Amino acid sequence: MLIATVANVEEAIQLAESLKQQGKYNWFRGQERAEWLPSSSLERRLKAGSNIEELDEEVSRFLDWARNVPELADLESPSNEHALYAILQHYGYPTSYIDFTTEPSVAGFFASDTTQQLEEGTISSIFCLNTKDLVDFYVDHKNFIGEKMKVEPVTVDVSNLWRLQAQHGHFLNTNHPWYVIYDMDRIEFPWTGPTAYPQRDQIYPPQKSHLEQLLDEFQSLEQRRRGQKNMRLLMDELREKGVKIEHIPYSNPLRYEESVFSAEPALLNCWKKEVLSDWFVEKQEQFYQVNGKLKDISIRSVSGAPAPHIQIKVAFSSALSREPNLRSYAVNWKISGLEGQLDVERYLNAIQSAWNGMRNLPYENNDISTAMQVITQLFLIGNCDSILGRIMNEAFSKWLPDAYEIEFGNDLLDTVSRAYCSSDLLVECLDSEWKKSCKDQEMVVSAYGSLYACSKPHYMFDFEKFARLFASQIIPAQLAIGRPLVLFNPAKLDFFGNP
């Protein structure tokens, strides 16, 4: 049912806000094209020809991964069904949930924001819903509609799902084309471009919570899975053409060379879960409580001024010292004065990622300020993200003469990343007792030899020394390279070795 036609999105927002204040509607949904039906992503995918088994498989892959992540393992519980599907919905998986918001301005954003210029004359809309009226309608007409037809307004607060909180998101869970039965009211207007407020970064926050960093890990896995699937298809085509292809499996699933040790390496005390319990704490944060703090850093280049990366370290050290609770905030760091010297957008994204990835882990303040210093240093060197390996290796060698490439991750979660660090400092992190257990002492004087002998970090590294190295070199190197997946927590690694 059409409520009104107005001149633009701002008028639509104002009208929707007025209707909300009058108590006529409590949920809103913006759509770029008024003719689009307010249907779920699952319904749209099925209409487009997707197979329900394939869609179920997508959700199953996520659950298989999530049950191995301590912070997400409870999602499989029936009591957390809404939380699970809220996460899936916000990360593009097909669900029976339809997005709504309690804020007309958010609905206005979705009704007007687009990456492409819409053709002149496009009519957009804000749908207006009274959830009580909808539920009452289905109850009053259940004999006609049928009891199997479900419409369920869902309000769920998923801890650390900042995207949902930023959008004031709610969901309508339905298993049928409900909009055919219940004619939802709407405000229509000609599309004239994105609304002045809110902006995209207020709807899709560039800041990421701990949960969203974990979800990025799964997204990276899915991307790698698709790449591997395409590679298998390519190899099948080559085999059909007569090309001989051999698969060489990894020869040592134990991740240590048995011949090198007189006895099986053991878990070091410094890596035991009870010792590292602080590294496994998930801090619960609400988007509007931790976001909104802005910090400006201005780099000067006058004669006698220290190098930019030194200024950055002092700036972060000073900020952390002046405000002891600063790490409780997803601070928006604005750094000026480096224009023309580096890729500013990539650099600020790396700084922001490092801040949010490290601030809630038990790193020392100096670890964070050192990481910011090294990120700056690497971006000023440049070419760290080059797809040409030789150029990238040369860039890291300018940073560290003994720069050494390493690969690390978690076998259970199938996460993997790469970075560079000092080979000498890596050797210095080795546990003295582990070194003594190696039959060939010459092997453990080099990074290559040590990591050939064993790639289980909890067998071989002093954790405190390793964590310092991880913060000061391995995290910055991942960010400078532009890895699709950046690992911040050394306590969660179960392999660390030669690529």
E strand intervals along 251-387 = 294-298, 332-336
What is the residue extent of each domain of the chain?
A: 2-212, 250-497
Q: What is the mean pLDDT of the chain?
A: 91
What tens digit of pLDDT does each residue of 334-354 get?
Answer: 999 999 999 999 999 999 999
Backbone angles phi, psi at 253, to 5 degrees: -65, -15
Please say whether the beta carbons of 71 and 279 come within 8 A: no
Which tops the pLDDT comparison, 115 or 382? 382
Alpha helices in 22-51 (DSSP H): 41-47
* Confidence at residue 371, expressed as pLDDT on a 0 to 100 scale: 98
What is the SS3 assignment for 187?
Answer: strand
Which pairing describes strands 415-422 and 403-410: parallel, antiparallel, or unpaired?
A: antiparallel
* Confidence at residue 248, expressed as pLDDT on a 0 to 100 scale: 52
What tens digit of pLDDT does each residue of 133-186 get?
Answer: 999 999 999 888 988 899 999 999 888 899 999 999 999 999 999 999 998 899
Residue carrying structure tokens 């009580």 = 132
What is the SS3 assignment for 497?
Answer: strand
What tens digit of pLDDT does each residue of 441-467 get?
Answer: 888 899 999 999 999 999 999 999 999
What tens digit of pLDDT does each residue of 401-452 get?
Answer: 999 999 999 988 889 999 999 999 999 999 999 998 888 888 889 999 999 9
CA distances from 149 to 40, 99, 100 (A): 15, 19, 20
Complete DSSP assignment for 382-445: --TT-SSHHHHHHHHHHH-TTEEEEEEEETTTTEEEEEEEEHHHHHHTB-HHHHHHBS-GGGGG
Percent of the chain with pLDDT over 70: 98
pLDDT greater than 70 at residue 116? yes
What tens digit of pLDDT does each residue of 27-36 get?
Answer: 999 999 999 9
Backbone angles phi, psi at 332, to 5 degrees: -90, 110
* Confidence at residue 334, expressed as pLDDT on a 0 to 100 scale: 96
What tens digit of pLDDT does each residue of 54-106 get?
Answer: 878 888 888 888 888 888 888 888 899 999 999 988 888 889 999 999 999 99
